[in-house]
Amino acid sequence: MDTLTIAMNSSEAHYRPQPYGEIDTQFIPAHQWPLALIELALSRGIEEHKLLRGTGIFREDIGTHCFQLTPQQCFQLISNLQKYFYNHELGFLLGHELFTPRHTPATIALNSAENLHAVLDILVDHQAQIMPLLDARCRYEQEYLVIYWQDAYGADANMVFLLEMMCTALNSLTRSHCTEPLPWQFHFTHNKPSYIEQYDVHLGNRVHFSSHMNAMSVARDYLYSPWKSCTADSLLFRNSVADPTSTAFTFQRGFLAETYTYLQNNIQRNPNLEQTAADFGMSSASFKRKLKKHHSHFQAQYDLARRDLAIMWLNQKGATNEQVAKKLHFYDVANLRRAFKKWTGKLPHAMDELG
Amino acid sequence: MLKYHKWKLFFVAMGANLVLIASLAVADVKPFAEINWLDVISEGGAATLALIWLGLILHSRPAGRVTQYLSMGLSGIFLAGFQDFLDEFIRFPATAHWDHWIESGCMPIGLVLLTLGIYHWHKEQLRINEQLRKRERLFREHRSLDFTTNLSGADYLRKQLAQALNEHRESSNTLALLFIDVDNFNHINRRYGHQQGDHLLQSLSELILLSIRRNDLLCRYAGDRFALILPNTGRVVAEKISSEISLLVQHFAYKTFTQDESLYYSVSIGTALTCNDNIAQDTAEKLIERANLALLKAKEVHRTAVQQAA
């Protein structure tokens, strides 16, 4: 249960940054999903030299089990794909493959979980092994369980691809293990794309665009409904040898995700750049440089953290504008309203659930 | 493709070489000041372009009569251009006439052969169009072709649907749109890999193409979902075709790559018809939406049937 509850403002304790990965940390095992992606692309007729251009990846290296990629290399690979592959199918296709039990012990565990709750526990605890580029946060909201997807390493334009992949992966996993497909609702911040057919087929008809969150939600009742007992697939792979590269990670989250977590958890202290940098153990200039390396800056992260808190408090806790303004250290309600309008395009009272 | 045409390329290269050697043997090279560079560029450019056309044609066509004509024609044009180009650098003695013959002889012969080739190509294309008829309607766009099934994708579907709806507005006939979705398609991808899944889709598309009428159009919507446009079709006929397709797929024994194993699949089909009362408001988007909804219902029915059977 602990992974499903977000440490909110309940305790006044100072949240200290946890170890984090960076955009140039080598830790993503190349023979797992990156290899699956490369093979998928090659089988769809993309030329190898175009696909791997600028990534610093060589096809021969990937076969070896100890070759690891940086998030930056993965991003370059995905942008190359999107440049040369027109019909936007690959993210969804990779999503279907992502959780098949052949990849890692973590995916084998996912496939032998007894219910959705167990799956989400594994997903959150083993993010770094399963899909480190997006940070998953689970939260209960009224009758719903909501999974928020957040940029962990500065994915920039590749965010849409990653979201399509992760949402399809989870949808596909639940579809193959539940007796009936779960009625997932999907919310995306991007506008309705021209290739809407892919969403129709791979995610279903409960997809909302131009939302202010990247999230998927389902009624809480489904969390504990038992799944089909292990499928033949997962039994096949259950006894497979443990993967040598999947040793325990020294960190769980990416730098951006950790910054966001830090800001949310310390909101009562009204964190600023200097204090945050000091807590991360570096000078303000270094911290700024690091944020820039991840295609972001302090104000953007701070706004993001405050926006999400404001939405949560307004929707969930039924907080008034005055309370939210005070908690987020706005001078008065008018300032909050202005900021809120800037973040979400709407006024605080116009917020309905997830938009 | 080029490896089937080695001899043709060899002869063109030999021809150009012979012309060059013969020219150098009989004539003198012009001094630098006498060379007219504008002519060099225009004549050399024409010869180069003819060579590029030849390369493209040979690279894209299998051997055969049409290719033979086209390549001979273009080779002639190239040789004439090449000789013309050499003229700019070489002064031929007045007694030598053969250079004129090459220049003025190769060109018309080449043009005639090329014309013959294009004429037969046209004939050939009409035959190919007939074969492609159920995959495309009066409009070709190779960029929207799907890599897996060689059917057109959703963009093409939307365009064709909009056009067909326009045509139907004038008549009193209805148009039917069928969405065909493979049940349990993920099973094959998970168990046998996506290449096997792609191959299944390809086989199914061929199978469906066999069972539809001349004017129907089959597209791949996305993933394991096909879209079938049935022009001038009412509900009764649309349902007949839809049940024919389901029966056909159910009885199709699909063979996997590795084992002597037969897999049986079924499809769910959702049907949407234009309504005559307010056809003016029927857009391609709305029709697609209705077909998608009908398909979801059909899937639901299929699922409960399976559960009850189990």
| Maximum mean pLDDT: which of A283-292, B251-260, B279-288 | A283-292
pLDDT per position as a tens digit, A327-344:
898 888 888 889 988 888
* pLDDT attached to residue A231: 52
Residue A241 pLDDT greater than 70, yes or no:
no
The answer to whether B202 touches B147, Cβ cutoff 8 Å, is no
- Answer CATH for B142-309 from 3.30.1360.10, 3.30.365.10, 3.30.70.270, 3.40.50.1970: 3.30.70.270
Q: Are residues A164 and A57 in the same domain?
A: yes
Strand bridging mode B28-29 / B90-91: antiparallel
- Chain A, 187 to 246: residues with Cβ < 8 Å from chain B are 194-195, 197-198, 200-202, 204-205, 233
Report whether pLDDT(A288) > 80.
Answer: yes
The amino acid present at A286, given as its one-letter code, is: S
Same-domain pairing of A73 and A171: yes
- Percentage of chain A lying above the pLDDT 70 cut: 87
- The residue with greater pLDDT, B131 or B152, is B152
Hunting for tokens 């990937």 — which residue is that? Answer: A62
Q: Test A172 with B198 for CB contact under 8 angstroms.
A: no
Residue A240 neighbours by CB under 8 Å, 6+ apart: A102, A108
- The ipTM of this complex is 0.79
CB contact under 8 A, A198 and B198: no
Nearest chain B alpha carbon to A179: B307
Question: B222 and A195 in contact by Cβ < 8 A?
Answer: yes
Do A124 and A172 reside in the same domain of the chain?
Answer: yes
Q: Among A227, A261, A289, which residue terminates a domain? A: A227
Please indicate, yes or no, whether residues A96 and A192 belong to a single structural domain of this protein: yes
- How far is it, in rounded angstroms, from Cα A274 to Cα A265? 17
Q: Which residues pair with B264 in a beta bridge?
A: none
Distance CA B96, CA B114 (A): 29
Instruction: Give domain status of residue A18, yes or no.
Output: no
**Structural domain containing residue A268:** 253-350
Name the band, by pLDDT with cuts 50, 70 and 90, for residue B218: very high
Confidence at residue B141, expressed as pLDDT on a 0 to 100 scale: 66
Q: Are B265 and B183 in contact (CB under 8 A)?
A: yes
Contact A194 B155 (CB under 8 A): yes
Residue in chain A lying closest to B148 (CA)? A44
Q: What is the CATH number of the domain that holds A307?
A: 1.10.10.60
| Domain tally, chain A | 2
Tokens of B54: 């030849």
Is residue A133, in this structure, part of any structural domain at all? Answer: yes
**Phi, psi dihedrals of residue A18, rounded to the nearest 5°:** -90, 165
On the question of pLDDT at B278 being above 80, the answer is: no
